[in-house]
Structure 1
């Protein structure tokens, strides 16, 4: 089929007096095609009309599509079962032409912001290797929409406590806050509703009021509304993590903060400047930080166990022994765990990461008499051996040092030797053994027997020299 420009050339050449054969040669088309264009006298390309295989079954295809929950492959199988065989590409093209299961595409807009008008905040799950072990972390980021200044950190979990920690640190990094903060409809910030009807949780609303901004949620599915912050997660995943090694979560966040500083000083084509340079324009329009920013903490109520500890996220923190059984208030901050009895601060511990099952004990809470492990009493056999001779007492000490604990088996074996042989034979044998560092009781027993030979046992007479040669 000839396109619009070729049809226009054919009509133009005809008006100049050229024949059909000449026109066909010049436009490289068949003479019949040239004649059809001249007969129509129109440069509009006619629509290609073909009979559709599924045309008579359009309503049936629509019903099957709804019945199969939008699975076009099942629609194709059901059509084939009824004798209507079409290829999958024919079915999908038919559905597109007739709007079956096709969502009308919407244009996306371009948002422009004035200095200090809006900032955007969101989180994204990332899997990051830390100290050779892959961990699932939550990456949180905040960006100023006008200057595109970025700040990001990662956390092992994401709750309102971590959200307040992050926003507090980010706003201190920017030295101010924009008028509004655009978020998605996360339950961490939103108590109920969505979009324009979203109701911000009271704790988060009070936090925003302290810094002079308000939260605003976009409609569900309208991710383009928060596109400034959404784009950065792909950049962090594919640029920051690549080729970097992290020893701990603290090391990761320190490197991520330094990376944000570097990114904020890179030129952006859309800004025709760096975010840091644009920030110099935006900073006077930001809401200034309050004169006093209280430390963010999460409040817990715990009862002191009989061991003198309070449990928090599988970790245990010590308190004075006098508070055993009392119900105390635990304030968890970013770096510390503070324990209060009413208004009285009773203990301050360094915060341990969650689910490590560790125990933190302050020196003043350690009671040696309470936690000292008393060794078991010595065996009765040991007392008998120590009272028998100084050499046996030294051998007992060596046996306990070598075998640990009470050396029960060795102690009873030495006691049996003491009962079986006279002390006059045992003492010199043990003294000789200790002189050479020998504590093997079997060899000591042979030494005792060698010492007793001829005194307590009848030995065979020595063989005669001549008789020994005859034999």
Structure 2
């Protein structure tokens, strides 16, 4: 029985002229407990911990002045009203007076196999090649099976977003028809939530992979919780205690961790590991096309007097015949950066990851010695 039921039973037996010992024996209570219940005043009593009307009026006024900041409220109450309630008591008064909007009851989202996938990014601090950097962790999760894929980038623009979505689609060996994102300008051209306008190039890239984007409602991040929570889990469980020599090493370890840990560990909400649930979801995914869209970035560059062409704060050598000429640069995250002149390849090099102000001379370029150029290197 609850304490209220026990109290009512004691009072009922007492009104029936039942003795103290008998009440104690029947209800399995000590006689002191029975005596205490019988000595309590009868009738409905106002709890002593409720704040009185005068203090409640002061509390309402101070709450509005302090804009809901309980610490500032305590200072004002002490300075102007000589009230010194403990912090826990003050917050209880605020709750009892219903000055704050009560938290909403959280619900659960239920997804069918192949219904939806979720994409999000998060900045993570780490050390790469002995340098402290902030890298962008991009993640994609299948909503039904919770299968996770992550990849790290020095930055995250539409160029990196396309590369990530392609890698994620290949890792999942298919896509869901809908990809829920936050209201990021990387993918959006304007608006938010139901009124979001997606960038044409990103919408076209998504169509090539067999899905379309949907931005969640503003102030409703719970609709994307399947991917937000794993990214925080990645930061707390994957990064600690690991060292990385380069971004290639970082992503190789991240991919291995996804396969061997994140997707292999059983989840209580699923009752199984994501990899097992993925086997059931796989037949419902949209198969990838035989020809996948290429990920590249094209820009115009001028070859300087040193025979170098700038690319993302770094310089790459070009044939000497292109000095002071115009060229087209084509950058891809992997495997190379290429330079073209009138549709003719002029050179290529490995991309610079996390490096600035570096210079790369390709084999066969600048074969004629130049003392001044050598001094710059």
Superposition TM-score tier, normalisation by shorter sequence: 0.7 to 0.9
Which structure has the higher relative contact order (CA within 8 Å, separation 6+)? 2
- Displacement of 1:159 in angstroms is 1.3
Deviations 1:238-270 (A, max 9, x none): 322233332221111111111111132333333
Match in the other structure for 1:34: 38
1:309 aligns with 2:308: yes
SS for the counterpart of 1:329 is: strand
Q: Which residue does the alignment assign to 1:328?
A: 327
**What is residue 234 of structure 1 aligned with on the other side?**
232
Give secondary structure in 1 for the equivalent of 2:160: helix
Q: Is the 8 A contact 1:176 1:287 kept in 2?
A: yes
Go from structure 1 to structure 2 and tell me whether the alpha carbon gap of 1:268 and 1:33 turns closer, same or farther (over 3 Å shift): closer
Task: Tell whether the 8 Å contact from 2:10 to 2:34 is kept in structure 1 after alignment.
Answer: no
The superposition leaves residues 108-130 of structure 1 with CA deviations (integer Å, 9 ceiling, x where unpaired) of 11111111111111111111222
Structure ranking higher in helix proportion: 1
User: Residues of 2 paired with 1:104 and 1:98: CA distance?
Assistant: 11
Q: Are residues 65 and 122 of structure 1, via their aligned partners in 2, closer, same or farther at CA, if it must alter by over 3 Å? A: same
Partner of 1:213: 211
Are the aligned partners of 1:10 and 1:27 in contact in 2 as well (CA < 8 Å)? no
TM-score by length of 1: 0.70
Number of residue equivalences:
365
Answer yes or no: is the 8 Å Cα contact 1:76–1:86 preserved in 2: yes
CA separation of 1:344 and 1:294: change in aligned 2, threshold 3 A: farther
What secondary structure sits across from 2:74 in the alignment?
Answer: helix
CA distance, structure 2, for counterparts of residue 294 and residue 22 of structure 1: 85
What whole-Å deviation, never above 9, does each CA across 1:387-420 have from its counterpart, x for those lacking one?
A: xxxxxxxxxxxxxxxxxxxxxxxxxxxxxxxxxx
How far apart are 1:206 and its partner, in Å? 1.1
Structure 1 residue 14 corresponds to structure 2 residue 14: yes
Unaligned runs of 5+ in 2: none
CA-atom RMSD, angstroms? 2.7
| Per-residue CA distance 1:186-233 (angstroms, 9 max, x = gap) | 221122222222221122111111111111121233222112112212
Give the unaligned 5+ runs of structure 1: 375-471
Match of 1:265 in 2: 264
* Cα distance between partner residues in 1 of 2:144 and 2:138: 19
User: What does residue 281 of structure 2 align with?
Assistant: 282
Residue 365 of structure 1: how far off its partner (Å):
2.5
Which of 75, 82, 89 is matched with 2:73 structurally?
75
Distance apart, 1:22 and its partner CA: 6.3
Contact 1:143–1:151 (8 Å) recurs in 2 = yes
Q: In structure 2, do the counterparts of structure 1 residues 350 and 224 end up closer, same or farther at CA, with 3 Å as the change threshold?
A: same
The answer (yes or no) to whether the contact 1:73–1:88 under 8 Å persists in 2 is no
Larger-gyration structure (1/2): 1
1:363 match: 363
Partner residue in 1 for 2:51: 52
Query: In the alignment, is the contact (CA less than 8 A) between 1:117 and 1:178 conserved in 2?
Result: yes
Cα shift readout 1:124-174 (whole Å, capped 9, x = no counterpart): 111122233332111111111112211111111111111111111111111
Please give the alpha-carbon distance, in whole angstroms, between the structure 1 residues aligned to 2:166 and 2:183.
20
Task: Report the Cα distance in structure 2 between the residues aligned to 1:176 and 1:51, rounded to whole angstroms.
Answer: 59
Structure-2 change in CA distance of 1:27 and 1:207 (3 Å): farther
- Tell me the equivalent position of 1:186: 184
